[in-house]
Amino acid sequence: MNKIAFVFPGQGSQTVGMGKELADKHSEVMDYFRRADEKLNIPLSNLIFEGPKEELTITFNTQPALLTTSIAILDYFQKSGVSADYVAGHSLGEYTALVAAGTLSFEEGVYAVRKRGEFMENAVPNGEGSMAAVLGLDRDRLYEVTNEVSESGNPVSLANLNCPGQIVISGSRKGVEIAGVKAKEAGAKRALPLDVSGPFHSALMKPAADQLREVLDGLEMKDAQVPVIANVTAEPITSASEIKDKLIEQLYSPVLWEDSVRKMIDLGVDTFIEIGPGKVLSGLIKKIDKSVTTFSVSDEESAQTVIDALKEEKV
């Protein structure tokens, strides 16, 4: 039996104007943007639709902006009757997946990721931490490199295991720089510094994790109605208390995206539908396994394309 997974993008997929076309045409889509504005008491929808880009890219704006846009698109798309057997999201996208799975209400999800963004932004003084994408080196060898650099007093670790040959490292600015050089010496093709405001998914985020626990403790989290593949373990979970623990760990642990996709394929998923702006996850999934079908839904036209394609498969 063919199974479908909905996957939700993380930071880096945001663009000024995302979701606007659907929101202009459909009042129920616009309603999500209004609800986000009300919950956060800021003109978030204005920032999403009009920019400026520099402000949208600030972590504590990007996170609620992406969650709002992705959930608004999901709601529109699901009216076609397409449903998921599993959901997953990349980093921030895991919160979108949890709203999709009914663990968090939309308002609580928007609030949680706004606070998460603030805590992440403030955990490490600006300029002291960084991240870099290492291309063309396997994880075991890169793990040895980061361990060696960390032991010399410059913390750095694996942050996002995205697909074969693409791993993001994170840590102190010096640690990331040294690890980038050593990774190339070990055979990596490139080490590209990322334009981010902090060392996300590294041990340097532990202060943010303590603050996040307080916020999540104040939310009404329910068991997931659809299994969510956790970033931290790449295993399906549904229990609200386990989900909460994994969200806190996620801040300072690597995102096991490649493992998560492989897990869903092992569970029978052969169709991945990326919901939200961009096609980053669809690209990664194809690099992990070319045999699966990937779609991305970001507007009316792409939603219709997917609906038509899925209908044809059933015929």
Helical axes 106-123 vs 27-40, angle rounded to 10°: 50
Contact 299, 72 (CB under 8 A): no
Residue with tokens 């640690």: 175
Per-residue burial over 244-283, b if 16 or more Cβ lie within 10 Å, else e, is bbbbbebbbbbbbbbbbbebbbeeebbbbbbbbbbbbbbb
Helix (H) or strand (E) holding 186: none
Q: Hey, what are 183's tokens?
A: 């990774």
- Give dist(CA 297, CA 170) in Å, integer: 30
Residues marked as catalytic: 91, 201
Per-residue burial over 61-98, b if 16 or more Cβ lie within 10 Å, else e, is bbbbbbbbbbbbbbbbbeeeebebbbbbbbbbbbbbbb
Contact 189, 235 (CB under 8 A): no
Helices (H) and strands (E) in the chain, counts: 14, 10
The strand pair at 190-193 and 156-163 is best described as unpaired
Q: Hey, what are 35's tokens?
A: 């609800």
The strand pair at 156-163 and 3-8 is best described as unpaired
- Give dist(CA 139, CA 4) in Å, integer: 28
